[in-house]
Amino acid sequence: MASEIVAEMVAHVWRIVAAPGDVLAAGDTVVILESMKMEIPVLTEHAGRVAELRVDEGDVVQEGDILAVLS
């Protein structure tokens, strides 16, 4: 079952931590967003393998945008 990781706010993608194929545990960081000079890590809720990243560093994301997909 695929799991989508979404942005919870409007922000810039500051750093991508995970890569496609990486196996992550629940609570691992996938990307770090930057908003209002604050760094906000985006964590996984469930364990899984990164199937797809849908953002690049420097992208601006909106609330609800899909950042990554775990399989």
Task: State residue 45's pLDDT score.
Answer: 93
pLDDT < 50: residue spans in the chain: none
Domain count for the chain, please give it. Answer: 1
Domain of 9, in residue numbers: 3-70
Task: State residue 2's pLDDT score.
Answer: 84
The contacts of residue 61 (CB under 8 Å, 6+ apart) are 7, 10, 11, 12, 13, 33, 55, 67
Task: State residue 19's pLDDT score.
Answer: 98
CATH code (residue 29) = 2.40.50.100
